């Protein structure tokens, strides 16, 4: 195999891996928006102001047309489930960060130093943005309780 062909194959492989990682991140973000009832820009709509706990709880109550006694009995169960979902989400985020760190280690021998610097900058900015969003969501959630 010629050096040019090998370099082309490595470049294509790296592009594929980066594309898969970006696709997974985008899919995760879209899924989070769907499951947490967030639509549009931050702060828009009644659901955003109520926080995700209230949003999911209200949706469930509305779907099953729960009466007052049912709502009272359902509330702690829904709150417990949402807390568990939050724990799963936190673990998932940590797993995703570990995978992205692994990706960087694997790509380091393939990428030039300036390319690696751009990748580091991109991934660090995305991680910081995501962590800030998580922090804001938790603060908004605590304001509602």
Q: Is 84 exposed, middle or buried (0-12, 13-18, 19+ CB in 10 A)?
A: exposed
Query: Which pTM was predicted?
Result: 0.49
Q: Select from 39, 86, 45, 78 the least CA-distant residue to 62.
A: 78
Chain segment 78-132, per-residue pLDDT in tens: 989 888 888 888 888 888 888 888 888 999 899 999 999 998 888 888 888 877 8
Which residues, 6+ apart, have CB-to-CB distance to 64 below 8 Å? 70
Q: What is the DSSP letter of 36?
A: T
Which phi and psi (to 5°) does residue 44 adopt? -80, 145
52 pLDDT more than 60: no
144 pLDDT more than 60: no
Q: What is the pLDDT of residue 46?
A: 39
Reading the block at residue 107, the tokens are 């790509």
Chain segment 53-64, per-residue pLDDT in tens: 668 888 999 999
């Amino acid at each position: 195999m010629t050096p040019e062909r090998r370099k082309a194959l490595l470049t294509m492989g790296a592009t594929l891996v980066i594309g898969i990682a970006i696709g997974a991140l985008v899919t995760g973000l879209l899924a989070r928006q769907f499951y947490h009832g967030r639509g549009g820009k931050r702060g828009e709509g009644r659901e955003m102001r109520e926080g995700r706990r209230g949003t999911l709880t209200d949706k469930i109550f509305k779907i099953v047309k729960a009466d007052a006694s049912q709502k009272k009995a359902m509330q702690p169960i829904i709150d417990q489930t949402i807390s568990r979902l939050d724990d799963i989400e936190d673990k998932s985020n940590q797993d995703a960060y570990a995978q992205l760190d692994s990706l960087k280690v694997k790509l380091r021998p393939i990428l030039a130093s300036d390319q690696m610097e751009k990748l580091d900058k991109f991934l660090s900015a995305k991680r910081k943005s995501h962590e800030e969003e998580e922090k804001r969501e938790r603060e908004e959630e605590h304001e509602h309780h």
